[in-house]
Structure 1
């Protein structure tokens, strides 16, 4: 058990170091956005990316988890077929979906209630979604091969390019909201290009129809669960926008991002946890290993929650070169930070416990579990936002 936990810890450190550095760089966009953009502009960006989060689930149609399952067990097909089949299916579907979105840009912008001057955002959305989908299987392959350093480096490059482009396009070229989406697209394209050696190394096996059907059978039930899980995380933004305005969404998002410290713990753990529990599931002491991992995770997250809850008000008031972590115009939303932190704590527990559902191939329970969570979230938002804001 010690050796297994050591391997999990080693990979977590690699993922964690790069993720912490990368997310910190990405977090620097918060003071940039809050000092350059008006709250209503930040609200539009937040809203669009929340919609993209839902569409992303459709683009992936559960292929990442399905790839982890069948690539690790090799129940059907060869190693190359286990890469080629999900990759080519995502390639075809993502191109079709993005072509459809771009072709219907005007109706899509209207349905999203975007101001006419921001209709071009839809084209950037379509392109970003396509390139992100194309990167799913290559990134999953690196994780399955325990190439944590290469995976982490590419993720860091993606974030670094995005941050640098944001600074250049917003501060130097004053491109506003459009510059933010151009930055995201540039980062996605470069990342996929850097993944091409991984694609070339694994691509070549035939498209296996039997494997494809098994991938769909395993992955498709995860789509409703994925949509529900996304709803739990971001449905509050569209609802808040519908009930209030873009400026309120911008203030909410700026303060929500202060939960980055807890979110980092969950993200880092999840990167190492998924491939780890699949490869460890058949070990005789698997249950004990999983329980011990959960104990350590909860202890860490509880400590972070307490520290930030008591001191977040003081932290945001610290001045750096005359600027704050978030502009004073956004401080009215600081009261949501402890709630956000607590939500991430429970997300970490869910991440650990969900291993059993995937290992036992009981993914058909996921839609019900996450749908009920999403339903509660939606209902709570509609009930609580009007009186509480």
Structure 2
């Protein structure tokens, strides 16, 4: 058993580190693009990538989840049947979808308010979706075979090729925004080529009819749930474009991406948290441990939200040899960053509360909660954007994650009740709200704001040590720090 747990921990670390590295490498492109392209151009890129995200879900239509279930248990057919049946289905339908979208690119461009001279970008976009969707089953096969290193290598390689191609096409060949799509297309196509040995090894030119019926029955219900999750992430873009303009979309999404620092923390926590609560669910004091996890997550998460919110406007304006973390034309949207950071914080709470859903096998509530989150996102976007512009879109993101975390909390407390340390969490939330009010009311344009911000951050740390952590926890920190220092 210990060896199995060791294997799980090792794989989790590999997947987690590669995902963090990949996302951080991807973020490198944000300052590059925003220092080169106007908000109008970047806005159209973000608009098309919003639809790429949605159609990636549609092109796979839940067969990825179905493949994991049936390939792992091999209830029907042999190993090649379990691979080839979903792979061939996605291949056939993706070819059909791709040809239809290319044929209808002009009316589609009109529907999504894309300028006619940019309609050719729809071809690049659907080809990216085609290659990515046809890579989904081979990638899952690598996970089932526990080839974590090869899986992670391909993911990082994909992003590295994408970044390199962007730099070459834009800096050397002076391409415009089409370079972003061409680079992604090259990376996606090469990734599928690298996966060919896996495909050939497991391929059989035949669809297992009974298995296919089971796959569709199991997988199709995941389509609306997957679309709901993706809508929470991208639906604000087309709504914002329809209610404002594409320049606003570019400014909004560029600043939205500055939330990556909080997103990385939540992602790292998620990779560690899921195996942790599954392995410790049967411990006698499991609920007490899980309660502490929420408290400690809130401590670290709130510190990140506060520190990044206070200093992000100063960080983006640091000049690095003529380049900025965010191009000057995008600085008008910096005020949304604290809201996005707080949204990712609540996404982290959603992850924390997912423990009870998994342990009690109440996954039926997942599509309900995510669907509600998507609905709230749409409603709040439509209600607030006309009056608050990008602030309204950011608040819609925050509202959707707040509803999703709240939904999971309600379900967890009903079926797997945990007595959380509410007084400590309320204290931290109260301090966060107070600092947020000071930030938005006085510090955006105040003199000596760096010093005031630093004092606020130090004050929050002192507040946590005095009013949140108890004597036993302080002694634990002191002892461990002293041990490390003496070591």
> TM over 0.5, yes or no?
yes
Q: 1:363, CA displacement in angstroms?
A: 5.6
Q: Which residue of 1 aligns with 2:76?
A: 76
Q: 1:282, CA displacement in angstroms?
A: 12
Q: C-alpha distance in 2, partners of 1:86/1:358? A: 26
In the superposition, relative to structure 1, how do residues 237 and 286 fare at CA in structure 2: closer, same or farther (>3 Å)? farther
8 Å contact from structure 1 (residues 85, 206) kept in 2? yes
CA distances 1:15-37 after superposition (whole Å, capped 9, x unpaired): 23323332222111111111111
SS where residue 153 of structure 1 aligns?
A: helix
Q: 1:159, CA displacement in angstroms?
A: 0.5
8 Å contact from structure 1 (residues 15, 268) kept in 2? no
Q: Which residue of 2 aligns with 1:200?
A: 200
Q: C-alpha distance in 2, partners of 1:184/1:265? A: 26
More divergent stretch after superposition (5-14 vs 92-101): 5-14
Q: C-alpha distance in 2, partners of 1:177/1:293? A: 48
Aligned length: 387
Is there any run of 5+ residues in structure 2 with no aligned partner, and where?
A: 390-487
Q: C-alpha distance in 2, partners of 1:155/1:136? A: 12
Aligned ranges 1:56-75 → 2 under 5 Å: 56-75=56-75
In the superposition, relative to structure 1, how do residues 266 and 72 fare at CA in structure 2: closer, same or farther (>3 Å)? farther
Q: 1:165, CA displacement in angstroms?
A: 1.0
Q: Which residue of 1 aligns with 2:304?
A: 304
Q: Which residue of 2 aligns with 1:132?
A: 132
In the superposition, relative to structure 1, how do residues 187 and 362 fare at CA in structure 2: closer, same or farther (>3 Å)? same
In the superposition, relative to structure 1, how do residues 189 and 228 fare at CA in structure 2: closer, same or farther (>3 Å)? same
In the superposition, relative to structure 1, how do residues 285 and 56 fare at CA in structure 2: closer, same or farther (>3 Å)? farther
8 Å contact from structure 2 (residues 266, 348) kept in 1? yes
What is the root-mean-square deviation in Å for CA atoms of aligned residues? 3.1
Q: 1:190, CA displacement in angstroms?
A: 0.4
Q: 1:301, CA displacement in angstroms?
A: 3.9
Aligned ranges 1:256-267 → 2 under 5 Å: 256-267=256-267
Q: C-alpha distance in 1, partners of 2:59/2:86? A: 12
In the superposition, relative to structure 1, how do residues 287 and 192 fare at CA in structure 2: closer, same or farther (>3 Å)? farther
SS where residue 77 of structure 1 aligns?
A: coil
SS where residue 195 of structure 2 aligns?
A: helix
Q: C-alpha distance in 2, partners of 1:94/1:21? A: 30
**TM-score normalised according to structure 2 size:** 0.72
Q: Which residue of 1 aligns with 2:221?
A: 221
Q: 1:66, CA displacement in angstroms?
A: 1.6
Q: C-alpha distance in 1, partners of 2:142/2:63? A: 15
> Does residue 377 of the first structure (1) align with residue 377 of the second (2)?
yes
8 Å contact from structure 1 (residues 84, 206) kept in 2? yes
More divergent stretch after superposition (136-145 vs 237-246): 136-145
CA distances 1:8-59 after superposition (whole Å, capped 9, x unpaired): 5433332233233322221111111111111110000001110111111110
**TM-score normalised according to structure 1 size:** 0.89
CA distances 1:132-156 after superposition (whole Å, capped 9, x unpaired): 0001011111222222211111011
| Larger RCO (CA under 8 A, 6+ residues apart) | 1
Q: C-alpha distance in 2, partners of 1:373/1:256? A: 18
Q: 1:7, CA displacement in angstroms?
A: 4.5
Greater Cα radius of gyration, structure 1 or 2:
2
Q: Which residue of 1 aligns with 2:180?
A: 180
Q: 1:164, CA displacement in angstroms?
A: 0.9
